[in-house]
Amino acid sequence: MDALGKLYTSTAIVTVNVEGKLNGITVAWVTRVSWQPPMVAVSIGKTRYTRELMDRTDSFAVCILGKDAKEIAEYFGTVSGRNTDKFKKYPYTMSEGNLPIPEGTIAYIECDKTGQFEAGDHIVYIGTVRRQKVLKDEPPLIFGEHELL
């Protein structure tokens, strides 16, 4: 048994659009961090391709997945955008802020990247919420006990 496994979170795909290059990464390490203004934090591994793209953009979207989106969560969470266009495999729409919203998203939060800091082998990016939208009023896909539940 592992105490860290008891930290349950919503599973999300964080998406970016860097000069037309779209990418998304499945994240379990995502949470709200400020009430006013509303802010969120996402933790991205230093070696991830998304980390390179995050460092070249001022905005990102946190796309919260629904319970039926296990397959897409695993795909975006195992394949790297470095050599694959992940958005070719699954349908998506573009948000008002020109960020990709993948199939399986029940709600998304568009953020301005307003901070970042190092945390061990990850970078924590802080996003100030610019726009948010609920697409389906359903419970999210949960990550807990080190797996998708």
Which residues contact ligand FMN by CB under 6 A? 11, 23, 25-29, 43-45, 48-50, 73-74, 77-82, 143, 148
For ligand FMN, the closer of residues 37 and 82 by Cβ is 82
CB 45 within 8 A of CB 98: no
Min separation Cβ 58 and ligand FMN, Å: 18
Least distance (Å) between residue 22 CB and ligand FMN: 11
Alpha-carbon gap, residue 60 to 15, rounded angstroms: 6
Q: Tokens representing 6?
A: 């008891």
Choice between 6 and 96, CB closer to ligand FMN: 6
Q: Which is nearer to ligand FMN, 37 or 55 (CB)?
A: 55
How many other C-beta atoms are found inside a 10 Å radius of the C-beta of residue 103? 17
Six-digit token pair at 43?
Answer: 């933790």
CB closer to ligand FMN out of 79 and 135:
79
Residue 14: name the closest of 136, 124, 115, 145 by CA.
124
CB of 34 to ligand FMN, least distance (A): 19
Cα(69)–Cα(135) distance, rounded to whole angstroms?
14
User: Considering the complex, what minimum distance in angstroms separates the CB of residue 47 from ligand FMN?
Assistant: 8
What tokens appear for 28 in the block?
């379990």
